[in-house]
A = this chain, B = another copy of it.
Amino acid sequence: MIVSPELAQFTEPLHLESGRSLNRFELAYECYGRLNDRKDNAILIGHGLSGTAHAAGRHHPEDFRPGWWDAAIGPGKMFDTDQFFVVCSNVLGGCGGSSGPSSENPDTGRPYALDFPVVTILDMVRAQVRLSDHLGIERWHCVAGGCLGGAQALTWGQHFSGRVNSVLSVGATAETSAHSLAFFEVIRETIRRDPNWNGGNYYGGPAPTSGLTLGSLIGMLFWMSPDAMDTRFGREKVKDGPQFTLGSEYKMQAFLQNIATNVERKFDPNTLLYVTRAMDYFDLSRGYPNLQGALESFPDRTLLVSYKTDWRYPPHKIERLAEAIRRVGRSVEHVTLESIFGHGAYLFDVEKLTPVVRKFLT
C-alpha cells in the first residue's frame, strides 16, 4: 500500500486550554481506503507518544518499514480499508508535520522551540475537529487508538459525542497515574540533561539525541513486560561475545543497544516534552465534580481493551472507567486480553485484538 502524506492548514485561531492561542496551525495526516458517498465509514486513529500520521503503508516502495500500525490498517485487516476510510493525524505539538516546537513560529520566522504553547489532549482533539471539518466528515464511525491515542478517543467521546458514533480505547485509563507522572518526568529529564538540549534551542545545531535515546531505552523497560523479555531473550548470552567485561554480554542487552543505535533521528526531542506533558494533564474528570459527571454526554458505543500484563494501565483501572460509563447509562464493553507485550500489546499483538475490534466496528 503506497500512501501520501497530506497537510491541512488552518488560519482561524485555536484557543488552547492554557489561555494561549495558536493563530495558525497545520496538521499532517494520512488516509487509507475510501470515504463513501454517505461519508459514514470514516475512522479516526490517534497515535501514541512517539507516533506520527504515518500509520500504515509505505510512502515509497523501497521504504524499509511501513507505518506504525500497518498490521492493523489495510484491506481485510482490523481496520479494513475495503470497508472503512481510515484517517490518522499527527497530534498538535508533534513533529511529523503538524505544528509543534520544531515548526516555524510565524511571529519570528524561527522554530518555536519552547515558545510553543503547552497543549492538552483536549487541544489536540479540538485541532482534529478542525481536520474533520476540512475533510467534510460530520460524524466519525469510530475514533480509536492506544495509549495517547486511547486518551484522544476518550476525549472525543467526552467532548464531541455529537461527532463520533463510537469510541475504541486500548490501554488507556480515565486519568494518568502517579507512576506515569513520574515516568514522564524522568523521560523529560533525560532530554533536558543532554548538553545539546540547550534549553530547547538546538534547531540548526546538534539535537539532544543522546537524551532521546536514553528516553527510548527507559520506555522499553516499561512497554515490554518482564515475561515477554524472559520468553524472548531470557539469560542467553551473545554468541562468541566477550566475557567478564562491562559490555552488553547478554542478548537482551545487545537488543537494547541495537535500539539505541537505531533510534529515530527524525523524532524531535522537544515534542516528547510536549506530548508527555499533555499526558500528565490527562484526567477525564478534570473540571468536573467527578468521573461520572465528566461522562454525561458520552456516546452509546464504547469498547475498552486492557491487557493483563499492562501493569501501568491495569485492567482493574480500565474496568473502573467502564463502570463509570455504565453508570451514566451508556453501553460499554471492556475486554481484557492476554499478551506478553504489556502496554505495547496493541502494537505488537494485533492478531488477538483484531477479532474483538472487527466485531465492535460492524
Q: Which residues of A does B touch, CB under 8 Å?
A: 17-20, 114, 117-118, 175-179, 181-183, 185-186, 188-190, 193, 195, 210, 213-214, 217-218, 220-222, 226, 229-230, 232-235, 243-246, 248-250, 252-253, 256-257, 260, 273-274, 277, 280, 283, 311-312
Contacts and interface: CB of A to CB of B under 8 A. Distances in A.
This chain's copy number in the assembly? 2
B218 A178 contact: no
B220 A252 contact: no
Given A186-B221, A235-B175, A244-B18, A250 B214 contact: no
Most chain B beta-carbon contacts within 10 A, residue among A178, A193, A245, A312: A178
A144 to B, nearest CB: 26
Contacts of A232: 178
A282 to B, nearest CB: 10
Provide the main secondary structure of the chain A interface.
helix
Contacts of A221: 179, 182-183, 186, 218, 222
A256 B185 contact: yes
Given A185-B248, A210-B193, A229 B177 contact: yes
Contacts of A185: 217, 248, 250, 252-253, 256-257
A277 B24 CA distance: 52
